[in-house]
């Protein structure tokens, strides 16, 4: 325990394949709650937002609350097409119910496209609002290597630091 109070760290990885063909009609890629209409969407039961999913799972893990799938199973129709920022906000509520709050989260998106830099602040702001604390977004390209390099999917790694809520 640090001098500043009790802390816990969680780490998470999320990956979704790119949806190809006619199945993508009417949908677009969503990253950090931001829509990229020119890009093919990711396959998933919800909106498949890998940034929001990774941050949510890192927070759940730090609080000892299991994984995202245990709270929002992909065989439950309530979550079909769900906005992942709403799922992240619900995870923040669950974490808060145990007396924890997000000190900060850091995530690294791994994708050949889209370019994240022009919309990074917008993504960070939406994720931060939903998570209840600052979320930093970075991106890296796999430089053509593997399935992510062939643009077959997008992945994200996130780490979250929770702190004990004062008075809990």
Q: How far is CA 24 from CA 64, 120, 128, in A?
A: 35, 24, 28
From 48, 72, 49, select the one nearest 60 (Cα to Cα). 72
pLDDT digits (tens, 9 = 90+) for 43-68: 998 999 999 999 999 999 999 999 99
Residue 165 has a pLDDT of 81
Percent of the chain residues topping a pLDDT of 90: 82
In angstroms, rounded to a whole number, what is the distance separating the alpha carbons of residues 17 and 125?
25
Region for 112 from its dihedrals, namely left if φ exceeds 0, alpha if ψ lies in -120 to 50, beta otherwise: alpha
Cβ neighbours, 10 Å, residue 135: 27
2 DSSP 8-state letter: B
> In angstroms, rounded to a whole number, what is the distance separating the alpha carbons of residues 161 and 81?
28
> Is the pLDDT reported for residue 1 higher than 60?
no
**pLDDT reported for residue 20:** 80
pTM of the model: 0.93
Structural domains present in the chain: 7-164 (3.30.1330.50)
Over the chain, what is the mean pLDDT? 92
Write out pLDDT tens, residues 117-163: 999 999 999 999 999 999 999 999 999 999 999 999 999 999 999 99
Q: Extract the tokens encoding 80.
A: 């079909």
Beta bridge partners of 157: 13, 108
Confidence class for position 74, pLDDT limits 50, 70, 90? confident
């Amino acid at each position: 325990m640090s001098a500043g109070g009790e802390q816990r760290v969680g780490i998470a990885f999320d990956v979704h394949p790119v949806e190809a063909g006619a199945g993508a009609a009417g949908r677009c890629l969503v990253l950090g709650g931001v829509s990229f209409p020119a890009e093919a969407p990711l396959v998933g039961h919800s909106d498949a937002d890998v940034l929001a999913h990774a941050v949510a799972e890192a927070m759940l893990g730090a609080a000892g609350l299991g994984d995202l799938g245990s709270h929002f199973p992909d065989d439950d129709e309530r979550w079909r097409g769900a906005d992942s920022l709403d799922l992240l906000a619900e995870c923040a509520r669950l974490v808060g119910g145990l007396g924890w709050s997000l000190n900060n989260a850091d995530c690294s998106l791994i994708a050949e496209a889209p370019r994240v830099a022009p919309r990074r602040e917008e993504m960070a702001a939406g994720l931060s609002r939903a998570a209840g604390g600052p979320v930093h977004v970075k991106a890296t390209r796999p430089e053509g290597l593997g399935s992510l390099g062939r643009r077959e999917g997008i992945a994200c790694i996130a780490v979250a630091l929770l702190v004990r809520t004062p008075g809990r």
